[in-house]
Structure 1
Amino acid sequence: MSDNATHGAAWTRSWTEGDDSLFAKRPAPVDRGSRYRTLTYEVTGRIARITFDRAAYGNSITWDTPTELADAVELADLDPRVHVILVSGRGKGFCGGYDLTAFGENAFGHEEDRAAEDTTSGTVLDPIVQARNHNPASAWDPMVDYAMMSRFNRGFASLLHANKPTVAKLHGFCVAGGTDIALYADQIICADDTKIGYPPTRVWGVPAAGMWAHRLGDQRAKRLLLTGDCLSGKQAEEWGLAVEAPPAAELDERTEDLLERIARMPINQLMMVKLALNSALHAQGVTNSAMISTVFDGISRHTREGYAFQQRAGEAGFRAAVADRDEPFGDYKRAQFTTDG
Structure 2
Amino acid sequence: MAYETIEFEITEGVAVLTLNRPQSLNSFNTDMHAEVRDALKTVKKSAEVRCLVLTGNGRGFCAGQDLSDRNVAPGTEAPNLGESIEKNYSPLIRTLMGLEMPVICAVNGVAAGAGANIAFACDIVLAAKSASFIQAFCKIGLVPDCGGTWSLPNLVGRARAMGLAMLGDKVKAEQAEQWGMIWKAVDDEALKDEAMKLAKHLATQPTKGLALIKRAINASATNDMDAQLDLERDLQTLAGRTDDYREGVAAFMEKRQPNFKGQ
TM over 0.5: yes
Deviation at 1:81, TM superposition (A): 1.0
What root-mean-square deviation, in Å, do the aligned CA atoms of Structure 1 and Structure 2 show? 2.1
Structure 1 unaligned blocks of 5 or more: 1-33, 110-130, 135-143, 285-341
Are 1:38 and 1:65, in contact at CA under 8 Å, matched by a contact in 2? Answer: yes
Question: Which structure has the highest strand share of the two?
Answer: 2
CA distance in 1, matches of 2:22, 2:161: 29
Give the letter for the 1:166 counterpart: V
1:271 maps onto 2:211 in alignment: yes
Structure 2 unaligned blocks of 5 or more: 225-263
Deviation at 1:147, TM superposition (A): 2.1
Give the letter for the 1:198 counterpart: Q
The equivalences for 1:217-296 within 5 A come to 217-281=157-221, 283=223
1:91 to 42, 58, 62: 58
Are 1:55 and 1:91, in contact at CA under 8 Å, matched by a contact in 2? Answer: yes
Q: Percent identity?
A: 25
CA distance in 2, matches of 1:74, 1:269: 21
CA-to-partner distance for each residue in 1:314-333, whole Å, 9 max, x for gaps? Answer: xxxxxxxxxxxxxxxxxxxx
1:151 to 80, 87, 93: 87
CA distance in 2, matches of 1:63, 1:238: 35
The equivalences for 1:1-341 within 5 A come to 35-103=2-70, 107=73, 132-134=77-79, 144-157=80-93, 158-209=95-146, 210=149, 211-281=151-221, 283=223
- Runs of 4+ displaced beyond 4 Å: none
CA distance in 2, matches of 1:239, 1:162: 26
Are 1:83 and 1:266, in contact at CA under 8 Å, matched by a contact in 2? Answer: no
The SS at the match of 2:58 is coil
Task: Name which structure has the greater RCO, CA cutoff 8 Å, separation 6+.
Answer: 1
CA distance in 2, matches of 1:223, 1:186: 24
CA distance in 2, matches of 1:156, 1:81: 21
Are 1:93 and 1:173, in contact at CA under 8 Å, matched by a contact in 2? Answer: yes
The SS at the match of 1:242 is coil
TM-score, length-scaled by structure 1: 0.60
The SS at the match of 1:86 is strand
Are 2:5 and 2:19, in contact at CA under 8 Å, matched by a contact in 1? Answer: yes
Are 1:73 and 1:162, in contact at CA under 8 Å, matched by a contact in 2? Answer: no
The SS at the match of 2:220 is helix
CA distance in 2, matches of 1:185, 1:66: 17
TM-score, length-scaled by structure 2: 0.76
CA distance in 2, matches of 1:75, 1:230: 34
The SS at the match of 2:55 is strand
Moved more, 147-156 or 190-199: 147-156
The SS at the match of 1:245 is strand
Corresponding residue pairs, total: 220
Deviation at 1:102, TM superposition (A): 4.8
CA distance in 2, matches of 1:76, 1:101: 30
Moved more, 195-204 or 77-86: 195-204
The SS at the match of 1:249 is helix
State the structure with more CA Rg.
Answer: 1
CA distance in 1, matches of 2:208, 2:69: 44
